Amino acid sequence: MEIKGKTAIITGATGGLTEAIVLSLAKAGANCICIYYKNSPQAKKLHRKLKTKSIFIQADLTVPENIEKIFAGIRKFPTPQILINAAAVFEKKPIGNIDYEYIKQTFDINFAVAMLMTQKFVEFVRRKIKSKQNPIGKIINIADITAQKPPAGFSVYCASKAALIAATKSLAKELAPDFTVNAVAPGIIHWPKNIAAAQKKKILSHIPAGREGSPQEVAQAVKFLIENDYITGQVINIDGGRSL
């Protein structure tokens, strides 16, 4: 699918990684519908950088009615054909510290929101686009290599991303040939706050590439999956070989 002139919906748009994806799509000529939760200053800053038609919508996507409102309010844009599910929360919590509310919140944002956004996106695109040329839509989920190689202390987060990967593969079969559904699984892109130098060195020793990745390298993979129409149900690890 050619990106130029297409409309993309991006959730979690003000995140450090997602910002690079938004900028990459806009540079390629996409109109961007950017959804974010709280970071209005960053949303305004990013909006000023975009040269294509774009809109930023502040919304709590864990409220299903807000998802309905988003799709009802974007009728002035060309019908979106690209969905990037990037909204996520990331927190380390050992088993002794987790509670029901934490599990629910993590799965709501990291998994349920992506599923509900995908559901409405598919309904919207199928209703608006009658083209017989497939695919008519692209769905890309932002996963994490920890779903495949979980570290200690992140059981709930890793499980939520593993669920997203499983859904990616199932949806690729269910929605074909109208939609391709893929995921990218970044490794170390941004270091956790207050990480010790010794811990960072230890982690890097397990990465064949010997370094952390960049948001731009993840954005390049997202762009590749949009442009290639014969890839679906796949997870691209962008981790410098850490998952080997």
Question: Which helix (H) or strand (E) is 115 found in, with range?
Answer: helix 113-128
The whole-number pLDDT of residue 194 equals: 80
Burial of 16 (0-12, 13-18, 19+ CB in 10 A): exposed
Question: Which helix (H) or strand (E) is 80 found in, with range?
Answer: strand 80-85
Spatial contact of 22 and 82, defined as CB atoms under 8 Å apart: no
The whole-number pLDDT of residue 196 equals: 86
CA distances from 36 to 56, 179, 203, 244 (A): 7, 24, 31, 33
Instruction: Look at the block and give the residue holding tokens 């998802």.
Output: 67
Q: What is the DSSP letter of 205?
A: T
Residues with Cβ within 8 Å of 189's Cβ and at least 6 positions away in sequence, in order, are 16, 17, 212, 213, 214, 215, 218
The whole-number pLDDT of residue 77 equals: 87
Distance CA 79, CA 225 (A): 19
Spatial contact of 151 and 109, defined as CB atoms under 8 Å apart: no
Distance CA 42, CA 15 (A): 9
Spatial contact of 160 and 107, defined as CB atoms under 8 Å apart: yes
Question: What sign for the dihedral angle of Cα 135, 15, 11, 142?
Answer: positive
Which pair of tokens denotes residue 85?
A: 């599910």
The whole-number pLDDT of residue 68 equals: 95
157 is catalytic: yes
Which pair of tokens denotes residue 54?
A: 């774009």
Going by C-alpha positions, the residue among 170, 76, 86, 168 that lies closest to residue 128 is 76
Among 37, 102, 157, 230, the active-site one is 157
* Amino acid code (one letter) for 122: V
In a structure prediction context, what are the per-residue pLDDT tens digits for the chain, which is 244 residues long? 999 999 999 999 999 899 999 999 999 999 999 999 999 999 999 999 998 889 999 999 999 999 999 999 988 889 999 999 999 999 999 999 999 999 999 999 999 999 999 999 999 999 999 877 899 999 999 999 999 999 999 999 999 999 999 999 999 999 999 999 999 999 999 887 888 888 899 889 999 999 999 999 999 999 999 999 999 999 999 999 998 8
**Domain 7-238 of CATH type 3.40.50.720:** yes
What pTM was estimated for this model as a whole? Answer: 0.96
